């Protein structure tokens, strides 16, 4: 039998798949087991930023990973990290340039981590 890792947040408590706590929740909810995948949450350094932006996350498993930057109108400004990444702690430093290699102007941007487990956005303000 395969083991699957995940977590479930309910009432401010985290429950883990396959644990006695989850089985208790499953009995309470009438479900055989309650399993929700762990989302890879993106963290960002100092905000506002002036020259570079440090990004980091813990990827719960290997897989395709992408970090994209969008302006306030929803247009993709840059795709800064496409590709396969191993599981574990990850980091990347964005140098605040767009897909054409030009510095992005001052403004508000949304940096979004996308993995097989979901999307995690962060709002960032660039000041030049």
Q: Where are the domains of the chain?
A: 1-38, 43-126
Q: Are 49 and 125 in contact, with CB atoms under 8 Å apart?
A: yes
Convert the pLDDT of each residue in 84-120 to its tens digit. 999 888 999 999 999 999 999 999 999 999 988 889 8
Spell out the CATH class of 43-126.
mainly beta
Q: Which of 7-16, 57-66, 70-79 has the highest mean pLDDT?
A: 70-79
Q: Say if pTM beats, i.e. exceeds, 0.95.
A: no
Span of 16-25, 53-62, 86-95 with lowest mean pLDDT:
16-25
From the list 5, 3, 9, the residue with the least C-alpha distance to 59 is: 5
CA triple 97-98-101, angle to 5 deg: 70
For residue 17, name the pLDDT band (cuts at 50, 70, 90): very low
From the list 8, 39, 38, 12, the residue with the least C-alpha distance to 23 is: 8
Element (H, E) at 26: helix 20-29
């Amino acid at each position: 039998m395969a083991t699957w890792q995940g977590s479930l947040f309910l009432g401010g408590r985290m429950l883990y798949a396959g644990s006695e706590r989850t089985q208790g929740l499953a009995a309470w909810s009438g479900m055989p087991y309650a399993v929700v995948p762990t989302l890879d949450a993106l963290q960002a350094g100092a905000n506002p930023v002036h020259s570079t932006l440090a990004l980091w996350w813990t990827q719960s498993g290997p897989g395709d990973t992408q970090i994209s930057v969008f302006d306030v109108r929803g247009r993709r400004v840059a795709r800064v990290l496409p590709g396969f990444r191993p599981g574990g702690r990850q980091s990347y430093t964005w140098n605040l340039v767009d897909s054409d290699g030009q510095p992005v102007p001052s403004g508000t941007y949304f940096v979004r981590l996308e993995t097989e487990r979901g999307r995690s956005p962060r709002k960032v303000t660039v000041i030049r």
